[in-house]
Amino acid sequence: MTQNVCIQGLGFVGSAMAVAVASARDASGCPLYNVTGVDLPTTLGRSRVEALNAGTFPFRTSDEKLLAAVNEAARQGNLRATTDAEAYAHADIIVVNVHLDISFREDQPQLEMAGFIEAMRQVGRRMREDALVIIETTVPPGTSLKLAVPALRDELAQRGLDPDRLLLAHSPERVMPGKDYLDSILNYWRVYAGHTPEAADACEAFLASFINVKDYPLTRLSSTTASETSKVLENSYRAVNIAFIHEWTRYAEVVGIDLFEVIAAVQKRPTHSNMRYPGLGIGGYCLTKDPAFAPAATRQLFGRDIEFPFSRLAISTAADMPSHTIERLTRLLDGAVAGKRILLCGICYREDVADTRYSPSEIVYRELVAQGAQVDVHDPFVSYWQEVQRPVANDLPSPEGYAAVLFATPHAVYKRLDLPRWMSGSRGTAVLDAFMVFSSRQRQLFREAGMWIESIGVGDGL
């Protein structure tokens, strides 16, 4: 019998998860699940619902495999979307992917859990008492135990159902938008845990039905709090790693070396293979805020106050990193950007995705405008920049008339760009590579063609 799965929340994670689950097949090639994506009845929510119901993915993506999977699900008829929360009443499995915020830039970050708790109660008011609920949202450690389980049990009890039959598990999402969007779900390691052993068993069976567990085996942890901690620790570690490189970025530029060359040499040692590179800054929905989750959760959910100095420093450094790029650009423009035309290429936090949330490009854009620069914006994946309320050019304009071009996101279209040809007639325009778009060899060839190009993390003229 085909099971019904509801995906709560159709953002970058939930939409892709809905497609992944709808792609699961049995031995005969028939769909394992009927999947219903559920989003809020807002303008944005309705647009995502309409896209999936039309057989298209709600976000621009370079992943042809994902696009093909959406089309196939539409052909099979086992993927639909709605804004009607009554869909939860018919679900065997409910996967939670909802927005969760924290005031991470404050001295004392505060968890903003009201929306998440209401999402849990929306489910609890309608779900069957034996349905499996899996939280994929990256949440502060202790959320499942101290917030989700009580909310769901309370709603079940109010309906006269047995709260002891609740099956709740946590398995942090592994979604990485980009060229391997779908594979980041289907072909990657997953951690999971259940509030009860029965919930853990049910979660394992579900995940194993569509994830390639032969090559990427699942890892069961002893508690939902441990599972939640695994994702928060992982993202905090990566954020600290990136922030650590920032001070060496400044050092490399001062002493006149190529930090990319140095790091590539260090990475040959297996113990240091994941050292990060210089860049514009830390961006995206996860790395910017997740280092604040453990400190806030320890205080708000567990009643203890523990210092997390490295995580705190990573957050403050992330906010400072884009300023360094502005300083470098300002030096290239004789000490001032006021009155200068600047082309900002790339507003997404990561290459080849359409996600502008907490992008360091936003900090750069706002500061340049505040200093009196005229900033034009290009990105191949975004037509309207929601955070700054302005349209975005999708066709790369001519560089003629610009004092500088700042490459802020390493989109593939920029890496393939024939820069000398594009810049012909604009030799006086400065080019600053802020995010590892061009190699040292490319920079050398560009300079031989008479161009003026510099890179963050690299001394002048290198």
Whether 279 has a pLDDT exceeding 90, the answer reads yes
Total-model pTM: 0.95
Residue 101 has pLDDT above 90, yes or no: no
Residue 117 has pLDDT above 90, yes or no: yes
Per-residue pLDDT at 115: 95
Q: Can you give the pLDDT at residue 1?
A: 78
What is the structure's pLDDT at 103?
Answer: 87
pLDDT for residue 63: 96
Rounded distance between C-alpha atoms, residue 451 and residue 42, angstroms = 48
Burial of 334 (0-12, 13-18, 19+ CB in 10 A): exposed
pLDDT digits (tens, 9 = 90+) for 19-45: 999 999 999 999 999 999 999 999 999
Residue 149, H or E segment: helix 149-158
pLDDT band at 317 (very low <50, low <70, confident <90, very high): very high
- So what CATH class is 237-455? alpha beta
- Mean pLDDT value across residues 6-13: 97
- Give percent above pLDDT 70 in the chain: 100
pLDDT per residue over 356-377, tens digit each?
999 999 999 999 999 999 999 9
In 195-283, where do the E strands start and end?
A: 219-220
Sequence letter at residue 176: M
Picking from 227, 194, 190, 183, the residue whose alpha carbon sits closest to that of residue 208 is 190
Instruction: Quote the pLDDT of residue 100.
Output: 85
Q: What is the pLDDT of residue 426?
A: 87
Give how far Cα 120 sits from Cα of 95, 96, 293, 436, Å. Answer: 11, 8, 19, 41
The residue assigned the tokens 């896209």 is 51
3-222 maps to CATH 3.40.50.720: yes
pLDDT band at 334 (very low <50, low <70, confident <90, very high): very high
| Residue whose tokens read 């490399």 | 252
User: Cβ atoms within 10 A of the Cβ of 361, count?
Assistant: 29
Amino acid 427: pLDDT = 81
Domain(s) labelled CATH 3.40.50.720 in the chain stretch across 3-222, 237-455
Q: How, if at all, do strands 3-8 and 132-135 pair?
A: unpaired
Mean pLDDT of 41-68: 96
Find all residues with CB under 8 Å of 171, minimum gap 6, and list them. Answer: 134, 135, 136, 190, 191, 192, 193, 203, 207, 227
What value does the mean pLDDT take over residues 287-312?
94
Q: Give the Cα separation of 232 and 448 in Å (integer).
A: 46
pLDDT at position 99? 87
Yes or no: say if 185 and 20 are a contact pair by the CB < 8 Å rule.
yes
pLDDT the model gives residue 106: 80
Span 70-79, mean pLDDT? 95
C-alpha dist (Å) from residue 335 to 327, 364, 404: 9, 16, 13
Average pLDDT over residues 168-183: 96
User: How much is the pLDDT for 314?
Assistant: 93
pLDDT tens for each residue of 380-432: 999 999 999 999 999 999 999 999 999 999 999 999 999 999 999 888 899 99
In 3D space, the residue among 49, 69, 126 whose CA is nearest the CA of residue 94 turns out to be 126
Lowest mean pLDDT, pick from 34-38, 106-110, 257-261, 379-383: 106-110
Q: How far apart are CA 283 and CA 285, in angstroms?
A: 7
Burial class (CB in 10 A: 0-12, 13-18, 19+), 231: buried
Asked if pLDDT for residue 353 goes beyond 90, the answer is yes
